[in-house]
Every structure is written in C-alpha cells, then in structure tokens.
C-alpha cells in the first residue's frame, strides 16, 4: 500500500475544467503553473487520458492554492482560511496555529 491509497484524491476531469473556468485560466497557464503538460491536461479534461495519481495531485494542489476545494459530486468550491478572512493574519491571536 502506498500513501495515495490512504488519502484518495477527489479531483476529476470536470473539477479541472470548471476550476480553470472559475479562475479564467487557459490550459497553457495551468500547465505552466502546475508543471503538467498541455496535452495531458487536455486529454484529462476530455476524458481521453487517465493521469498518474501524482500528476492529478500536482493539478489539484496548484488549484487548491487559489482557494478551491474539490469534493466528489460537486463543482469546485471556494474554501475559506484565515489568510483570506483577515487583512493582516499575523495580527490574529491564533496566527501561530496556521500551518
């Protein structure tokens, strides 16, 4: 068993396409930002190409940095965190809890 088996990734082709749409990102921009090829992203979004787990993880992680959350059965959702909710998060008393 590898570590991917313990934490299944809920990121699918529809998430990828909808996330790009929400962010107004082109495939080329996501490719540049994530290190995944344009051809791989296009094939994945079209349902023509299965990606290795580590490649899907690279896409999901890059989009999650923008504040998106991916849950099966739902379009990408905007997440909330202390950085987005406070103009100066370091001034918060609980800032030391942020990882």
Inform me whether the pLDDT recorded for 11 exceeds 70.
Answer: yes
Element (H, E) at 78: strand 77-78
Q: So what's the architecture of 3-85 in CATH?
A: Orthogonal Bundle (1.10)
| Residue 54 DSSP code | H
* Burial tier of 41 (Cβ tally within 10 Å: 0-12, 13-18, 19+): buried
pLDDT computed for residue 78 by the predictor: 87
Tell me the average pLDDT across 66-74: 90
Rounded percentage of the chain residues whose pLDDT exceeds 70: 74
Domain residue limits, the chain:
3-85
Least confident among 39-48, 65-74, 82-91: 82-91
Inform me whether the pLDDT recorded for 86 exceeds 80.
Answer: no
């Amino acid at each position: 068993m590898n570590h991917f088996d313990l934490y299944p990734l809920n990121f699918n082709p529809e998430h990828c396409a909808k996330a790009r749409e929400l962010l107004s990102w082109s495939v080329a921009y996501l490719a540049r930002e994530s290190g995944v090829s344009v051809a791989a992203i296009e094939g994945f979004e079209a349902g023509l190409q299965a990606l290795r787990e580590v490649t899907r993880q690279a896409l999901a992680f890059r989009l999650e940095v923008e504040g998106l959350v991916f849950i099966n059965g739902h379009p990408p959702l905007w997440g909330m965190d202390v950085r987005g909710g406070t103009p100066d998060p370091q001034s918060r008393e609980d800032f030391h809890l942020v990882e």
